[in-house]
A and B are shown apart, each in its own frame.
Chain A
Amino acid sequence: MTDNIIKLTAAEIARRIAAGDLTAVEVTEAHLARIEAVDEKVHAFLHVDREGALAQARAVDEKRARGEKLGPLAGVPLALKDIFTTVGMPTTVGSKILEGWIPPYDATLVKNLKAADVVILGKTNMDEFAMGSSTENSAYGPTGNPWDLTRIPGGSGGGSSAALAAYEAPLAIGTDTGGSIRQPAAVTGTVGVKPTYGGVSRYGMVAFSSSLDQGGPCARTVLDAALLHEAIAGHDPLDSTSIDAPVPPVVEAALSGSVGGMRVGVVKQFRGEGYQAGVVQRFDESVELLRSLGAEIVELDCPTFDLALSAYYLIAPSECSSNLARFDAMRYGLRVGDDGTRSAEDVTALTREAGFGDEVKRRIILGTYALSSGYYDAYYGSAQKVRTLITREFEKAFEEVDVIVSPTTPTTAFPIGERADDPMAMYLADLCTIPTNLAGNAAMSLPCGLAPEDGLPVGLQIIAPAMKDDRLYKVGAAVEAAFVEKWGHPLLEEAPSL
């Protein structure tokens, strides 16, 4: 029974709870049992809120018993990336510097989840402050990829996608600054969506790079991602950058997948050196599939995309150097060396030394340098110009095509430790995802097969213009249906059992 429940989609769980075939408590208990059974190996969670989750589940069952209207995801369990503030639950952002901090307020996204009667199981592991592509930068130890526990689950949201792939939760939340939702989805054979910048509130999401950060849905199916997308999106008066417009019709799009008559762009720059052969092969097959489904394929040349990684590694660290300045041991989180003899400045320095990991320190230093007087124009200033050029190149491309497709990440999951000491190699994992963050438009990753050479999942990225998030789901649902038909089952069924 438990095994059946954990393999259900979110849509199916919600349907059965609404119909009275399952209770929310049963569903929650099944997932808590699964976490109990496998998370010691996977380490997707940093914190499991057993009591809180069961209380939420009971509330849903009671609500149903009273005959009250339930939300479309009522009683469905969810794994929340540990970057969102939660009343009553720790929020560490994968960092020692916030160890033990229990926020006094809920993020808007968390409030939206609660309002939708979603059951929050706990908080998932991540690269410290969302800086990384492997979850190895977590101060609390790495997460294993359920396809091969010796390999990385992607990052920064490796915990969330691993939880999905390990059937510890049917839904998860990620955040995507340079690919942190999509790349983990790709390497774990799950679905992840970075909504249009401003589509989902950032209020209560601990900032890494404010102009790039975007929370979004993670799931095992396109429809589940759409249902979650709809639950968390919308204008928030507490976030000035949140878009005051109706949420694109994502669920409707996911229910009516098709690519007939659509123009699909393939960007020349998203292939070549550094791309694994099996990844390119699965991508090319996906393009053929799209063509066979009635899409018109258009070749695109976007030369500024080659500059995206460099621009990103100036803008994101610059913003992070300012955003992370608040961690000074004065008001919350870790405090080291406060023995009554040291100055505030010394205590701050000792706390940061002990509380921040190497990658975080590296980026703070990079960003501080890029913003300093005399270097600002050459670094931060030039990077912003590149950003504008990339945005324009996307705009131009979207005059010709409805969506763009590419591999999500150049390789499949690499072994834990392989790139840990080589930041440049690590940064390359986000080569295809970063341009979208710079331009602020929407993108999805969904499984498109296993690479023949290593049998690991490959992700297909779909990119849509800003506020056209529904196109991702329309195309994604069509591709997903065609692949599942071709494979005879969802890709994840091929993962070894834990």
Chain B
Amino acid sequence: MTVTELLSYEAALAEYDPVMGLEVHVELGTRTKMFCGCSTELGAEPNSQTCPTCLGMPGSLPVVNAIGVESAIKIGLALHCEIAEWCRFARKNYFYPDMPKNFQTSQYDEPIAFNGYLDVQLEDGEIFRVEIERAHMEEDTGKSLHVGGATGRIHGASHSLLDYNRAGIPLIEIVTKPIEGAGERAPEVAKAYVAELRELIRALGVSDARMDKGQMRCDVNLSLRPHGTKTFGTRSETKNVNSLRSVERAARFEIQRHAAVLTSGGTIVQETRHFHEDDGSTTSGRIKDNAEDYRYFPEPDLVPVAPAREWIEELRKGLPELPRVRRNRLREEWGVSELDMQSILNAGAVDAIVATIEAGADAASARKWWMGELARNANEQGVSLEELAITPADVARVSALVASGDLNDKLARQVIEGVLAGEGTPDAVVEKRGLKVVSDDGALGTAVDEAIAGNAAIADKIRGGKVAAVGALVGAVMKATRGQADAAKVKDLILEKLGVSEG
């Protein structure tokens, strides 16, 4: 493979102005497929979730999934789009073995939602408005598995396996208008847009939008034009960029690649590009010279979709608070920095923290547990926070026990460990493991007396005013009580017994 010539990012931006178009496909989380009753559950045996309709058998017909339409409208409304009063599906005709009918049932010139925008917040807090061209409904294709080749691509493969479980899963394709004026922040805008869209989709409850599971896929179209010019340059279409970081890297790489081609007097070929996660590069795919002809025409097997205006208003009223608005509200309520909020967001902890606070915990401790102990645990297990075997109510209970002094931090961590290990509720774990702060003054008094007697020299130092030395005695008491004492209380008790007061 030849090494792609790149211009430095700074040099590229000094000369050119990037224009982007982002196309995001979202797999809806409907229980059944877009045009038949087959399950959409991931991970089933290949071809076990199919029927005559999603296999495109002769004679079969599609029926529109009403929840799919509702989800599309919700997305459209959340993106401030107009919702079509009347629109049709269209057939996009092209051939591929994993597409059962050899046409995709999609929408063409009559999308369900159009003309909207999404405000995205960049890392420094600046708001950038991304205009939305359209959002339309379509169906996913099946999957091809090319066997025997080195790359998993069809080239060099000995044969291919087809799995139609995914065929017919509802997709919403969201297309931006050309994103202009982002300048050097274009890659950041691209990433922030996809991130914001993902949050929005999740907030609407229409999809989990997991990019790692292919539930959300992004194509990055990019072109450059010399500063001061209006006409768009020739674009490249980098397909299936499947993480937020990759979106940013792909845009950055393409800016540098285009600039290198253009400054050396070359021309950009209109083509699709493959993105490579390993080194962040893109390589040439199919040439797109506009000769591709999908022969779109209105789908005669489906009746037009004509959502009633009252229904749309009802859906509009039911929309949740938009993620960006909610995020800013929570950030203020919790009193955390933009940066901390960003890491909470990245960890996917917002909802868990909110739920924990709702269950009675204070914001600081809710945040502390989810972002500390639990985030680490989830990370180690390779699961998301929601997948952990602990509920926000459990976390709230632990934090209540700490607040009341029944547990200290160390014990609380053990309780959480017990809950995660399936030992029951926090109270059950406390009970079973006998984890209680030793607050009985008698028992603690004895331990303190023993510590003083056993460390006479240190005790003398403290009596002599070196209060800082108290730590060693506290440590001894904690050791003797196997950590089940409240360290602050132990410290007070020791100082009291030694007749010393702090400060």
Chain A interface (Cβ < 8 Å from any Cβ of B): 84-85, 91, 93, 98, 101, 103-105, 107, 202-207, 209-211, 237-241, 318-319, 321-322, 325-328, 330-332, 344-345, 348, 368, 371-373, 376, 380
Contact = CB atoms under 8 A, between A and B. Distances in A.
Interface in B454-501: none
Contact of A328 (B59, B62, B102, B160): B102
Contacts of A85: 52, 57-59
B302 interface: yes
Interface in B294-331: 295-297, 300-303
A450 B57 CA distance: 43
Contact of B300 (A93, A210, A331): A210
Given A85-B59, A91-B58, A105-B57, A211 B300 contact: yes
A368 B293 CA distance: 10
Contact of B59 (A107, A241, A371): A107
A239 B53 CA distance: 11
A322 B103 contact: yes
B301 A210 contact: yes
Contacts of B160: 344
A326 B58 contact: yes
Given A104-B52, A202-B61, A240-B64, A322 B303 contact: no
Interface in B76-103: 91, 93, 95, 97, 100-103
Contacts of B56: 326, 331
B8 interface: no
Interface in B10-55: 52, 55
- Max chain B CB contacts within 10 Å: which of A211, A327, A331? A331
Contacts of A372: 293, 295
5 contacts: A104-B52, A211-B300, A321-B93, A330-B162, A371-B93
Contacts of B293: 372-373
Nearest to A211: B300
Contact of B295 (A84, A240, A330, A368): A368
Contacts of B302: 240-241
A325 B97 contact: no
Given A322-B91, A344-B97, A104 B57 contact: yes
Contacts of B93: 321-322, 325, 371
A206 B52 contact: no
Given A371-B297, A372-B295, A207 B101 contact: no
A173 B64 CA distance: 28
B301 A240 contact: yes
Nearest to A369: B295
Contacts of B63: 237-240
Given A105-B52, A331-B55, A204 B295 contact: no
A373 B297 CA distance: 11
A318 B300 CA distance: 11
A204 B101 contact: no
A203 B59 contact: yes
Contacts of B55: 331
A477 B112 CA distance: 48
Contacts of A93: 58
A239 B62 CA distance: 7
B137 to A, nearest CB: 14
Contacts of A206: 58-59
Contacts, number: 101
B57 A103 contact: yes
Interface in B86-130: 91, 93, 95, 97, 100-103
- Max chain B CB contacts within 10 Å: which of A103, A104, A209, A330? A330
Nearest to A95: B58
B102 A326 contact: yes
Interface residues of B, number: 29
A431 to B, nearest CB: 23
- Max chain A CB contacts within 10 Å: which of B101, B102, B296, B297? B297
Nearest to B52: A105
A326 B56 CA distance: 7
B162 A239 contact: no
Given A203-B60, A325-B93, A326-B56, 12 more contacts: A85-B52, A85-B57, A85-B58, A98-B58, A103-B57, A104-B52, A207-B58, A211-B300, A239-B63, A240-B61, A240-B63, A325-B101
B303 A331 contact: no
- Max chain B CB contacts within 10 Å: which of A203, A205, A209, A326? A326
A319 B101 CA distance: 13
A234 to B, nearest CB: 16
B61 A103 contact: no
A85 B58 CA distance: 8
A181 B63 CA distance: 27
Contacts of A238: 61, 63
A98 B58 CA distance: 9
Contact of A325 (B62, B102, B162): B102
Contact of A322 (B59, B64, B97, B297): B297
Interface in B250-300: 293, 295-297, 300
A239 B57 contact: no
A2 B102 CA distance: 50
A332 B64 CA distance: 25
Contact of B97 (A204, A239, A330): A330
A156 to B, nearest CB: 16
Contacts of A101: 58
- Max chain B CB contacts within 10 Å: which of A98, A203, A345, A348? A203
- Max chain A CB contacts within 10 Å: which of B58, B61, B97, B101? B58
Nearest to B55: A331
A36 B455 CA distance: 114
Contacts of A327: 58
B321 to A, nearest CB: 36
B303 A328 contact: no
Contacts of A107: 59
A23 B58 CA distance: 36
A380 B293 CA distance: 15
B66 to A, nearest CB: 12
Given A319-B300, A371-B93, A372-B293, A325 B103 contact: yes
Interface string B147-169: 00000000000001010000000
Contacts of B101: 325-326
A210 B60 CA distance: 11
Contact of A240 (B91, B97, B103, B303): B303
A453 to B, nearest CB: 41
A49 B418 CA distance: 68
Contacts of A376: 295, 297
A322 B295 contact: yes
A380 B58 contact: no
Contacts of A207: 58-59, 301
B58 A241 contact: no
Contacts of A322: 91, 93, 103, 295, 297
- Max chain A CB contacts within 10 Å: which of B62, B103, B300? B300
Across the A-B interface, the 7 shortest Cβ-Cβ residue pairs: A325-B102, A371-B295, A211-B300, A210-B300, A204-B59, A206-B58, A85-B59
A209 B300 CA distance: 9
A372 B302 CA distance: 22
Contacts of B64: 240
A237 B62 CA distance: 10
- Max chain B CB contacts within 10 Å: which of A84, A93, A207, A327? A207
B57 to A, nearest CB: 7
B295 A103 contact: no
A427 B292 CA distance: 32
Nearest to A329: B97
Nearest to A328: B102
A331 B100 contact: yes
